């Protein structure tokens, strides 16, 4: 199953949001969504997502804000290496 991974910092620096969406449906469904207080917890969750769906089945939404956040982008790249921007 192909999925879309969306990662973004929450407003006012209150954490990081991670969401996984279906991409093959005409009406995408949210498969998983979590908020994290730091990069270590996000890394653990991303490892689980990569295991569940397979890194080659994950497309990352490389938003401008994610690309501009070097630390966050590195965490995402390490978890889903085949989808580097």
Instruction: Quote the domain boundaries for residue 26.
Output: 3-83
Q: Which of 54, 56, 47 is nearest to 76 (CA)?
A: 47
Domain CATH for 34? 3.30.420
* Number of structural domains found in the chain: 1
CA distance 47 to 64: 23
Q: Which among 23, 18, 19, 26 has a CA at the least distance from the CA of 1?
A: 23
Token duo for residue 66: 């994610």
User: How confident is the model at residue 84, as a pLDDT?
Assistant: 47
- Note the pLDDT tens digit of each residue in 10-52: 776 679 999 999 998 788 899 999 999 999 999 999 999 999 9
């Amino acid at each position: 199953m192909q999925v879309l991974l969306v990662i973004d910092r929450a407003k006012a620096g209150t954490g990081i949001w991670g969401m996984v969406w279906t991409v093959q449906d005409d009406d995408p469904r949210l498969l998983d969504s979590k908020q994290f207080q730091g990069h270590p917890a996000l890394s653990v969750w991303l490892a689980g997502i990569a295991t569940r769906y397979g890194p080659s089945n994950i497309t990352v939404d490389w938003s401008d804000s994610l690309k501009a956040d070097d630390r966050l982008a590195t965490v995402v790249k390490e978890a889903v290496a085949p989808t580097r921007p």
